[in-house]
Structure 1
Amino acid sequence: MDTAKRYLVTGAAGFIASQVCQQLLDQGHQVVGIDNLNDYYDPRLKRHRLEQLGGNSFEFQELDIENAAQLRTLFDQSSFDAVLNLAARAGVRYSIENPVVYETTNSLGNLNLLQEMQRTGCSKLVLASTSSLYAGQPMPFREDLPVNTPISPYAASKKGAEVMSYSFHNIHKIDVSICRYFTVYGPAGRPDMSVFRFIRWIDEGTPIELYGDGTQSRDFTYVDDIARGTILAVKPLGYEIINLGGGGTPVSLNTMIEMLEQRLNKKAIINRQPFHKADLMETSADITKARDLLGWNPEVDLAEGLDRSVQWYLENQPWSESIPLP
């Protein structure tokens, strides 16, 4: 990636994709970012991220990957060295309530992109996927585990996108890198995820809605590290599935809450709820492939990442505390 190239990044106003755009721009590349700016969570947060991405090398279009006609026009207007598909409906619990939109965005939307890539000769796809696929598998999670029993529509829609991408690799020789993300967090994060919500609730003295006893643990991964690994996956690999996670060092929600209490100098009030059957008790990533194929390791540990997350929240008050929590 030494030579300046032109990349399409979908979901560009999203938490991870906006950081991918920024890192690509910092490397001197041209980026076309698309996003439908839906209201799953407050669009103001999405526009806040886009505002950080100005400059002549970044072009944004409000566009939905579910709309095949719009995509056709986009691909007719521009040629791309690679497509990084990070547009997705995310969240396990919400997918149970609205499974159709997860299928149309995560699976059909990815198919629409693959068809335009095949039609126009764009031969590299990086697809964002999820550690949620590993439910019920032994840890640490390896990419060769048989993830054929997804326990949520979200995970099922991502599995559909993965296997369709393989079909296009097999038939049309599209080079595919699938990045399975593990619990991404950081500044300007998604307000439906635990780190954002817990910071808000601890800071304002609202009881934390904690599903389970808090011993469930996650392989937290800082957003800058995830974005860096996603960009490294642009290299030619054939067809590979690659974990991007904290490296097999899961941290319990109870410990994460204690770390946030220290940073906010406030005590959390906890309202315990029954454990949700679509959640995983623990996630732990085997990142051997990421090291071997991409030369990637996570660099930001949880302590530093939470420092930055809390700092963003406090520096952006009172706006940050007005963002509705889905």
Structure 2
Amino acid sequence: MKRKRALVTGCAGFIGSTLSERLLREGYEVYGIDAFVHNYDRWVKERNLQGALAHPQFRFFERDLRSLAFDELLARVDVVFHQAALPGVRTSWGSQFQEYVDHNILVTQALLEAAKNSHVQKIVCASSSSVYGGMSGPADETIMPQPLSPYGVTKLAAEQLCQLYAAVYGVPVVSLRYFTVFGPRQRPDMAFHKFIKNVLSGQPIEIYGDGEQSRDFTYIDDAVTANLLACAAPVKGVVFNIGGVSQLTVNDVISLIETRTGQRANIQRRPEQPGDPRHTFADITKARHLLGYDPQFDVEKGISLQIEQVRRLYNF
């Protein structure tokens, strides 16, 4: 029986590398592509890739998607998991916005343009809860998006391109709005990683605002499972919330890290940052019903696993 072939863009990143390994375990042949963009250290991404690179069914290409001809690559694969993007709410303001447009909007459009003339069976695109902006309660996919950052604007534009290409050209694409994914390999610029690293090393933790802002946290394995479910589901042109089973404040998270590490956090308060929503809260009813998505991991277990990985990464 012929192996199914998958393309994973952003395969050296947090979600992309974990997803690539899962696909390999599921029997896929995986084509991974990554440009090692500058958002964090290359050595961390190379370490993320070690497991996949050791597998005989993994083929890696170091390419910049902004100048890639997708047509030839799509001719080789059955499905695409488009994880590549330039992330970060706070860094998307100002002169760097053009990079966000290039990586998040124009690359997605080029992929979709190539896909309309291909035999690709499904494209799953990574989106973000940042498209919503602020939330006072659970957000479902019918709520009007109101992003609070240029990053959120670019992710919303990419989503809308996916819906357009599905409606006009029948491209079999779906988008997943991730809600604060955490766990082993989380990006070094993300809160859990920074908090854990700084607590373990005795460095101060910067908290923006009062720490009572809350997030719907999604464990990495649940986010990866959502990708496989979306790939298999007979839907296109649809957007899904992908959240977890726990919603905590930043202060709650720091307390958990202190408990799990046995070390006290040195907290430094900073002013609230523009573009940071006060709360995020996913209504995942649609993903439960149409994808069979059923998140399993809670924050306490996930933090313990992430602490172990951060200790190994930095030899703490």
Match of 1:139 in 2: 137
Separation of aligned partners in 2, 1:40 and 1:61? 19
Aligned pair partner of 1:84 in 67, 81, 85 = 81
**DSSP-derived class of the 2:45 partner:** helix
Question: Is residue 300 of structure 1 aligned with residue 262 of structure 2?
Answer: no
How far 1:55 moved relative to its partner? 1.5
Asked whether the 8 Å contact 1:65–1:113 carries over to 2, the reply is no
List per-residue Cα deviations over 1:300-326 (Å, max 9, x = no partner): 1111100100111223333xx7xxxxx
Sort the Cα spacing of 1:137 and 1:255 in 2 relative to 1 into closer, same or farther, 3 A.
closer
TM-score, normalised to structure 1, is 0.92
Counterpart residue type for residue 48 of structure 2: R
Aligned pair partner of 1:158 in 155, 159, 184 = 155
Separation of aligned partners in 2, 1:207 and 1:177? 40
Match of 1:324 in 2: none
Separation of aligned partners in 1, 2:286 and 2:231? 15
Question: Is residue 207 of structure 1 aligned with residue 204 of structure 2?
Answer: yes
Separation of aligned partners in 2, 1:3 and 1:74? 18
Match of 1:56 in 2: 56
List per-residue Cα deviations over 1:6-59 (Å, max 9, x = no partner): 111100001001111111111101110100012210011111011111222111
How far 1:119 moved relative to its partner? 2.5
Question: Is residue 271 of structure 1 aligned with residue 268 of structure 2?
Answer: yes
* Pairs within 5 Å for 1:1-326: 4-53=3-52, 54-69=54-69, 71-75=70-74, 78-97=75-94, 98-147=96-145, 149-235=146-232, 236-247=234-245, 249-318=246-315
Asked whether the 8 Å contact 1:246–1:298 carries over to 2, the reply is yes
Separation of aligned partners in 2, 1:3 and 1:172? 28
Separation of aligned partners in 1, 2:58 and 2:104? 24
TM-score, normalised to structure 2, is 0.95
Asked whether the 8 Å contact 1:82–1:234 carries over to 2, the reply is yes
Asked whether the 8 Å contact 2:135–2:278 carries over to 1, the reply is no
Asked whether the 8 Å contact 2:134–2:278 carries over to 1, the reply is no
Counterpart residue type for residue 126 of structure 2: A
Asked whether the 8 Å contact 2:136–2:279 carries over to 1, the reply is no
Counterpart residue type for residue 185 of structure 1: F
- Any unmatched runs of 5+ in structure 2? none
Asked whether the 8 Å contact 2:127–2:176 carries over to 1, the reply is yes
- The aligned length equals 313
How far 1:96 moved relative to its partner? 1.2
Separation of aligned partners in 2, 1:141 and 1:176? 22
How far 1:3 moved relative to its partner? 7.4
Counterpart residue type for residue 27 of structure 1: E
List per-residue Cα deviations over 1:213-243 (Å, max 9, x = no partner): 1111111111111011111100220221111
Asked whether the 8 Å contact 2:177–2:242 carries over to 1, the reply is yes
Give me the CA root mean square deviation.
1.5
How far 1:136 moved relative to its partner? 3.3
Identity %: 38
Counterpart residue type for residue 139 of structure 1: G
Separation of aligned partners in 1, 2:55 and 2:169? 35
Asked whether the 8 Å contact 1:250–1:282 carries over to 2, the reply is no
Separation of aligned partners in 2, 1:90 and 1:277? 16
